[in-house]
Amino acid sequence: VSAPLPVAVDVMGGDKAPHEILAGAEAAAAAGIPVILVGTPEAVAGHDLPSIEASQVIDMAEEPGAAVRQKKDSSLVRAAEAVRDGRASSMVSAGNTGAAMAASLLRMKRLSGVARPAIAAPLPLAHRDGKNVLLDAGANAECQPEWLVQFARMGAAYMRARFDVERPRVGLLSIGEEPTKGTPFVKDVHALLLQPEWQETAGCEFVGNVEGRDLLGDVADVIVTDGFTGNVALKTIEGAAKQLVGAILGAFDMNDESRAAADVLLPSLLPLYQRVDPDNTGGAALLGLRGVSIISHGSSSAKAIENAIGVAHELVERSLVAHLGDVLG
Amino acid sequence: VSAPLPVAVDVMGGDKAPHEILAGAEAAAAAGIPVILVGTPEAVAGHDLPSIEASQVIDMAEEPGAAVRQKKDSSLVRAAEAVRDGRASSMVSAGNTGAAMAASLLRMKRLSGVARPAIAAPLPLAHRDGKNVLLDAGANAECQPEWLVQFARMGAAYMRARFDVERPRVGLLSIGEEPTKGTPFVKDVHALLLQPEWQETAGCEFVGNVEGRDLLGDVADVIVTDGFTGNVALKTIEGAAKQLVGAILGAFDMNDESRAAADVLLPSLLPLYQRVDPDNTGGAALLGLRGVSIISHGSSSAKAIENAIGVAHELVERSLVAHLGDVLG
């Protein structure tokens, strides 16, 4: 058995690049996951890890398509090329999300039959510790109804590859449980998802419409929606969790008595805190490509990058791309 | 000065009708707010409060338009008629949301110039204790760009009437701060909101796009979006808050030591708990009508109804409809 290929890490992407990204890559390497750094010579210098040099950096605010076309020697493009060329198993970036998608798509190419790749985001507060997935979380602001059926197929493959969920339950995000609720677009998607054929070939069960309040519950393993609604919902969850945790910590810090009581509660609250911390979800996966590409949030810390590298490695080991091929058939 | 008109309360609407609705109406009356019950003779019998009898009930699952057309003697339709006829100042219902909207619209009629009424929902976790508002929270699943400018105008009037916010900041919900982010629809709305004319006549300031994570922050007083996205976002916040509060209570209840510590913290956590409890937001307001109509959530308790009645009364006292007329001009 040959050594596994390394995870390519875009050292230049993210608000805290390169320092936190490098620290995350080193932590992952120390934990036994092979990584290869992709960044400017200055950024990757002085690290023991293997590296690929790139002379350019794509900024967070750049227009994705133009940036990827023009900066062919950027860390983001070079990371995607490393996957394409078999030098890396997968890639992780906390940089410009649109550019990460564009670079992954242009360099790795779509799997056969994929209309549009989608971002699959594990939900941070979910009932079963992040073991459900929302897609599209932002790759395609506007969608055609058929795409969402494919998102459902791909989400099912993700749940099967990553969490061994044999027959994932698929829900459609809408504004009421009844099939008559929602926009004409959502009603069209509902009708398509009701058809038994795709459920059979994808090994899924369509459980009907789900609502915003069900996102963190246990009614569906895969929740499909357009990329606009999905992105709003995901960021709403992150914002609500952050506000609520902040308010609770404020209440704990009220006086000496409350601080002492909070100390007692910390051990039982810590797992919950870790669950709502977006650094722990391991990043979102771009599904539909001939390779694994993980998009970590822009403010990723070292821990977030370490987790994202772990998820990238795991998805390769668990043959995500083959699982995707099976359901796209 | 003549006595203020009563708030008409749909006694038959909601999962906990009529018992909790009646209890809420009685609590509001005991607190000095005049109410008039609207319900079946059996439901309103044995209460000291004035009442209007209605022989029919619109169920939660009925198709709104047909139900309102066919059940002309339903509590919901009679409550809206009481406002139209000057027997009540305003109405409150926790029943079928679509039917409450349809009854309010058909009986009270739109204010001059209103394209579509919208549901304005105070956000339960907001930075400043629910002092911002999201609209449309579900009245219009599909919208035209111009409608959102009107929603912004109406939201500003609401913030001015209810909270004395003189120059409300308006944000447009999207998936990135840049004007280039989002669907073509959202980009069109952004361009319209940028125009200084409406900001001047409405006394608003457009602060640009806001994201899901900003909903509970302090970046905008009024957040506009289409009714599909708004409903998903609102229910996502409610679901996230409920999940998180439930998980925290579970951690508190782990063992005797944690229970004792939790007792110490309760006084400082209670205000937070009350803030995230949807029973405390006072219900959503249907804006754009010649009258005040408050839609309380389906699972409303007595406390939720009491708060909704309080908000209805307050919005009448503070001349919401006149404020709306000013900005619609």
In angstroms, the Cα distances linking A19 to A49, A278, A280, A301 are: 14, 19, 19, 9
Q: Lowest-pLDDT range, A230-234, A256-260, A285-289?
A: A256-260
Residue A126 is predicted with a pLDDT of 58
Check B127 against A243: CB less than 8 A apart.
yes
- Here the ipTM equals 0.93
The residue type of A169 is R
Q: Phi then psi for A139, rounded to 5 degrees?
A: -75, -35
Chain B contact set for A215 (CB, 8 A): 236, 239-240
Q: Which residue has the tokens 């000291």?
A: B48
DSSP SS3 for A280: helix
Check A236 against B215: CB less than 8 A apart.
yes
Could you tell me the pTM of the whole model?
A: 0.94
pLDDT in tens, A177-187: 889 889 999 99
Residues within 8 A of A (CB atoms), B 91-150 only: 125, 127, 138, 141-142
Q: How many residues does this entry show for chain A?
A: 329
Q: Grade residue A215 by pLDDT with cuts at 50, 70 and 90.
A: very high
CA distance B50 to chain A (A): 35
Q: Grade residue B1 by pLDDT with cuts at 50, 70 and 90.
A: low
The residue type of B14 is G
Q: Which residue has the tokens 């198993």?
A: A89
CA distance B76 to chain A (A): 21
Q: Lowest-pLDDT range, A78-82, A145-149, B131-135, B183-187?
A: B131-135
Mean pLDDT of A247-271: 86
Are A221 and A168 within 8 A, CB to CB?
yes
State the DSSP string of A90-142.
EEEE-S-HHHHHHHHHHHH-BPTT-SS-EEEEE-TT-TTTT--EEE-SSS-SS
Q: Which of B127, B182, B232 sits opposite A173 (nearest CB)?
A: B232
Q: Phi then psi for B322, rounded to 5 degrees?
A: -65, -40
* Cβ partners under 8 Å of residue B168, min gap 6: B155, B156, B159, B160, B203, B204, B205, B221, B222
Kindly tell me if the per-residue pLDDT of B129 is higher than 70: no
Q: Grade residue B217 by pLDDT with cuts at 50, 70 and 90.
A: confident
CA distance A111 to chain B (A): 26
Interface test mutation site (partner B, options A96, A224, A235, A295, max chain B beta carbons within 10 A): A235
Find, in chain B, the residue whose alpha carbon is nearest to that of A187: B141
Check B251 against A240: CB less than 8 A apart.
no
Are A13 and A76 within 8 A, CB to CB?
yes
Q: Which of A61, A142, A236 sits opposite B183 (nearest CB)?
A: A142
Q: Phi then psi for B64, rounded to 5 degrees?
A: -55, -55
Better-predicted residue by pLDDT, A35 or B268: A35
Mode of pairing for the β-strands spanning A169-173 and A222-224: parallel
Closest listed residue to residue B37, CA positions, set B20, B46, B49: B49
Q: Does B256 touch chain A (CB under 8 A)?
A: no
Q: Which residue has the tokens 């004395």?
A: B164
Better-predicted residue by pLDDT, A18 or A246: A18
Residue A305 is predicted with a pLDDT of 97
Residue B128 is predicted with a pLDDT of 56
Kindly tell me if the per-residue pLDDT of B119 is higher than 60: yes
pLDDT in tens, B133-177: 999 999 999 999 999 999 999 999 999 999 999 999 999 999 998
Check B236 against A237: CB less than 8 A apart.
yes
- Tell me how far apart the alpha carbons of residues B204 and B30 are, in angstroms, rounded to a whole number: 38
Check A235 against B212: CB less than 8 A apart.
yes
Q: Does A239 touch chain B (CB under 8 A)?
A: yes
Are A89 and A6 within 8 A, CB to CB?
yes
Closest listed residue to residue B243, CA positions, set A216, A280, A171, A247: A216
Are B223 and B210 within 8 A, CB to CB?
yes
Measured on CA atoms in the order A235, A239, A245, A246, is the torsion positive or negative? positive
pLDDT in tens, A59-105: 998 999 999 999 999 999 999 999 999 999 999 999 999 999 999 99
Residue A243 is predicted with a pLDDT of 84
Kindly tell me if the per-residue pLDDT of B130 is higher than 60: no
Mean pLDDT of A179-197: 96
Give the Cα-Cα-Cα angle B113, B58, A177 (nearest 5 degrees): 85
Are A225 and B183 within 8 A, CB to CB?
no
Q: Taking the CA atoms of chain A, what radius of gyration do you get in angstroms?
A: 20
Q: What is the DSSP letter of A46?
A: T
Q: What is the DSSP letter of B289?
A: B
pLDDT in tens, B301-310: 999 999 999 9
Kindly tell me if the per-residue pLDDT of A276 is higher than 80: no
Q: Which of A182, A235, A268 sits opposite B228 (nearest CB)?
A: A182
Mean pLDDT of B185-191: 98
Check A239 against B216: CB less than 8 A apart.
yes
Q: Grade residue A329 by pLDDT with cuts at 50, 70 and 90.
A: low
Check A213 against B178: CB less than 8 A apart.
no
Residue A133 is predicted with a pLDDT of 95
DSSP SS3 for B311: helix
Q: Which of A174, A183, A236 sits opposite B142 (nearest CB)?
A: A183
Residue A127 is predicted with a pLDDT of 59
Q: Across the beta sheet with B222-224, what order do the strands follow?
A: B51-53, B35-39, B7-10, B90-93, B292-295, B284-287, B118-122, B133-135, B222-224, B169-173, B205-210
Q: Which of B228, B252, B268 sits opposite A265 (nearest CB)?
A: B252
Mean pLDDT of B323-327: 94
Check B125 against A243: CB less than 8 A apart.
yes
By the 10 Å C-beta count (0-12 exposed, 13-18 middle, 19+ buried), A129 is classed as: middle
